[in-house]
Amino acid sequence: MRLILASSSPRRIELLSRITTDFVAIPSDIDETSSGPPEERVVSIARAKAERIAKRHHGVVIGADTIVAIDDEILGKPATRAAARGMLKRLSGRTHRVLTGLHVVSTFTGESREACEATEVRFRALSDEEIEWYLDTGEYTDKAGGYGIQGKGALLVAGIRGDYFNVMGLPLCRLYLMLRALGYRLPRRSAAE
């Protein structure tokens, strides 16, 4: 059964590679704007990504979208250093949520599953100097909320409650359970490996 990741995200590709290398990554190139509550928005975008690829390719297609939300406001990917600074100041000393919408569809059966995984992330109080140091790393670019927990951004985080991999962009346990429900089985390694 062919597994397709509807994404070109290096983080998602690396994360999915932790459980299987038997997949292809195909970017969906959809408009990622959506409305409604954060939980509905990420699921809606994940669904659109998966459905776009499923129309053109045969297999089990995974769509995912991740956002950072604080006070029910979505913090997207900062367009500038100043925008990232504002996001980090807002997150400093507070707890926010990282939400990943998942939509998995099998073109073999037409069945699909979708879910929203939520992880609470607590930032420690950050000084202006620490924020500037982090911005100097450049890690904030192309990251929802202006930080990446898998890099130097780990120094900003005092704790998490939930799936760590969700904060990186792909909740592996939830994804595996959804794939299994659609009949997907992880490939077995041969004795020679």
Residue 65 known to be catalytic: yes
Cβ atoms 156, 96 nearer than 8 A: no
**Candidates 22, 29, 31, 65; catalytic one:** 65
Identify whether the C-beta of residue 60 lies closer than 8 Å to the C-beta of residue 2: yes
Confirm if 33 and 25 have CB atoms less than 8 A apart.
Answer: no
Q: How many CA atoms lie within 13 A of 71 on its CB side?
A: 4
What are the residue numbers of the active site?
65
